[in-house]
Amino acid sequence: PWTALQPGDVSHVYSELAMKITNQVTSSTPFLPKGVSLNVNFPKLSADCSKAEDFKYVFTTVYHLARTIKCTGSFNGSLKSVKTPAEVDVIASGACLVSISAMNSYKLDADPATQIAVSNKLKPILTCADVKDSIVYSIFPLDTVLDRRHDLEDGVAETVEGIADTL
């Protein structure tokens, strides 16, 4: 009978990923801004993504309309700045990326100031990913939140329920 999580089991890997997020959120108070929850999406395990150490965490938005934050890092020797990807793009990339979005009580993206506060809280575990056309072109450490603005694109992401369902 099943009595404990075993290393390599899907549930074990996902619980390790969830605990890293939980530990970062609970590392200081307040845990999250009032009225905000996290929507977290884990990709399927694969040969390349089989253990918790294989995964990177990316701050995302639930919908394309709310892409307000930029992150920057080194890519092929040059500095590059990219907008926060929508979680559907991260999921579709097929990469070992965990998407984390800050949403309000209506399951919509949190306002820009709140997104910045949440991304700063999660900054120690975040990676900046350049996800375009469902392909991850580059991954680099989150360096600085540079800019905030609304990007008026069309698009709606289908989402998987967040971290509470995983725990």
Query: Can you tell me the distance from the alpha carbon of 129 to that of 45, in angstroms, rounded to the nearest whole number?
Result: 19
> What are the residues whose beta carbons fall under 8 Å from the beta carbon of 167, sequence distance 6 or more?
15, 18, 22
> What are the residues whose beta carbons fall under 8 Å from the beta carbon of 18, sequence distance 6 or more?
40, 163, 166, 167
β-sheet bridge partners, residue 135: 132
Neighbours of 67 (CB within 10 A): 24
Per-residue pLDDT of the chain (167 residues; tens, 9 = 90+): 566 767 678 888 999 999 999 999 999 999 999 999 999 999 999 999 999 999 999 999 898 776 667 776 555 566 667 778 889 888 888 889 999 999 999 999 999 899 989 999 999 999 887 776 444 444 444 433 222 222 222 222 222 233 333 33
Residue from 21, 158, 24, 17 nearest 86 by CA: 158
